[in-house]
């Protein structure tokens, strides 16, 4: 299976790293007060969905991944999804 690359906002590419999604998801859930055990289940489920979605793709735009994660996370907690969606990386 070919490695999936993420196309960032300014065109830079990097390898898909599901850990980044998990950590961002976890942080968003924690901010809205979801207990860690529940948080782990939610973020594990979200990452599993993303992994399946990108499985056969060579490239995916970062904004498309963000939309997909927000949609998946919203099924579990709309406030956490909002926090994920409105968070922007600095740099």
pLDDT of residue 48: 96
User: Among 15, 84, 22, which Cα is nearest to 48's?
Assistant: 22
pLDDT of residue 91: 34
CA angle 1, 26, 15 (to 5 degrees): 30
Is residue 91 within 8 A of residue 43, CB to CB? The reply is no
Could you report the per-residue pLDDT of 28-77, keeping only the tens digit for each? Answer: 999 999 999 999 999 999 999 999 999 999 999 999 999 999 999 999 99
Per-domain residue ranges for the chain?
18-86
């Amino acid at each position: 299976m070919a490695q999936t690359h993420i196309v960032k906002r300014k065109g830079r590419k990097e390898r898909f790293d599901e850990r980044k999604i998990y950590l961002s998801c976890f942080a968003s859930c924690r901010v809205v007060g979801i207990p860690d055990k529940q948080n782990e289940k939610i973020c594990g489920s979200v990452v599993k969905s993303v992994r399946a979605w990108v499985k056969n793709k060579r490239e995916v735009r970062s904004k498309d991944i963000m939309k997909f994660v927000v949609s998946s996370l919203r099924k579990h907690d709309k406030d956490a999804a909002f926090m994920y969606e409105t968070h922007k990386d600095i740099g």
